[in-house]
Amino acid sequence: MTQDIPQQLLRELEQHDYLDLAALYERYPGTHFYSLVEALYQIKAEHGLNTRISRFITEIEKLTQDLDAKTLTAEHFLSLTKTLDLNQRAQKAARFIHTKDNHMAFSKPVDVVMFGDSITEWGPWHDGIIGVSVANRGLGGDTTQGMIMRLESTIVCQPKLVCVMAGINDLAQGYRVDEIIHNYAEMLSFWRQHGIEVWVQSTLHVGARLESLNPLVATLNQRLLELCQRHDVAFIDLNVLLCPQGELPLDCSADDLHLNSKAYATWLTALNPMLAKRFN
């Protein structure tokens, strides 16, 4: 972050009742988004400003609106953590239930299923994949264990090919590489039993904010490559194109994890020629 940005952010905070974080991020290209938001909080506190960081009201904000540091007791804290834990688990489970239900109920025959977590779910596959029909079976926050529970949703489409990417959520939640490989092996076995071809796409490296995961990502990808070689399954190393330095570049993501259009375009430059060769 350049030296003049804090002064510019101070003016933004002084001149507005609330900020538009997306517009602010676009105004300062090349700035790490999390660093930008963190700087806003720091400047706001230093100058005693009441500007809202955004119009969005967070769950913790709603739960603590009648509390302050002087009235927050241990009992309050335990109640807050319990409520947040319950809500987060219930919301995630409900999203899983609804997404799986919809994927099972609304399906039509396609050539390719894209299967994975949010990195797959947010991908522009319908617009970006050329010449073949596609179904998006990504689900934000999912792990390989959750994906095993959704395997049926990949075959109701009667695909000829499944392109799968997963594992980063498992690693972030503390699951071992061995556990992820075991789950991958189960998925490959399932698709093989149904006569469906599979392409395993490398688990992508993450950016600086999450860099402690990158050694595990490298280990996971080596193990995935070995698994694919044993089962004669294609392994597509997207990190060679997107993360040649072993870290997701700043210009590919706003949050060091999810991808922007530049990153997806690079991904598609690898995938589209392979799909054209496979289906034409």
What pLDDT digit, counting tens, does each position of 103-112 carry?
999 999 999 9
Mode of pairing for the β-strands spanning 234-236 and 197-201: parallel
For the segment 191-208, the average pLDDT, to the nearest whole number, is 98
Residue whose structure tokens are 């997404």:
99
Sole residue written with tokens 């988004």: 33
Count of beta carbons in the 10 Å neighbourhood of residue 251: 10
Q: Which H helix or E strand runs over 207?
A: none
Of 19, 65, 66, 64, residue with least CA distance to 39: 19
Look at residue 90 in the predicted model and tell me its pLDDT: 96
Closest CA to 234 of 162, 126, 186: 162
217-234 residue pLDDT tens:
999 999 999 999 999 999
Angle at which helix 5-15 crosses helix 33-46, to 10 degrees, equals 60
Q: Report in angstroms the alpha-carbon separations of 174 from 51, 89, 214.
A: 37, 17, 13
What's residue 62's pLDDT? 85
| Alpha helices for the chain (secondary structure H) | 5-15, 21-27, 33-46, 59-63, 74-105, 118-121, 125-128, 144-148, 152-155, 168-172, 177-193, 214-230, 239-242, 261-279
Q: Are 50 and 16 in contact (CB under 8 A)?
A: no
Q: In this predicted structure, what is the pLDDT of residue 69?
A: 64
For residues 199 and 219, give the distance between their C-alpha atoms in angstroms, rounded to a whole number: 19
Token reading at 32: 């790490």
Report the mean per-residue pLDDT for the chain: 95
159: exposed, middle or buried (Cβ count in 10 Å: 0-12, 13-18, 19+): buried
Least-confidence region, from 9-13, 73-77, 173-177: 73-77
pTM for the model: 0.92
What is the pLDDT confidence band of residue 70, given thresholds at 50, 70 and 90? Answer: low
Contacts of 123 by beta carbon, 8 Å cutoff, 6+ apart: 114, 136, 138, 259, 264, 267
17 has a pLDDT exceeding 80:
yes
Tell me the C-alpha distance between 172 and 213, whole Å: 7
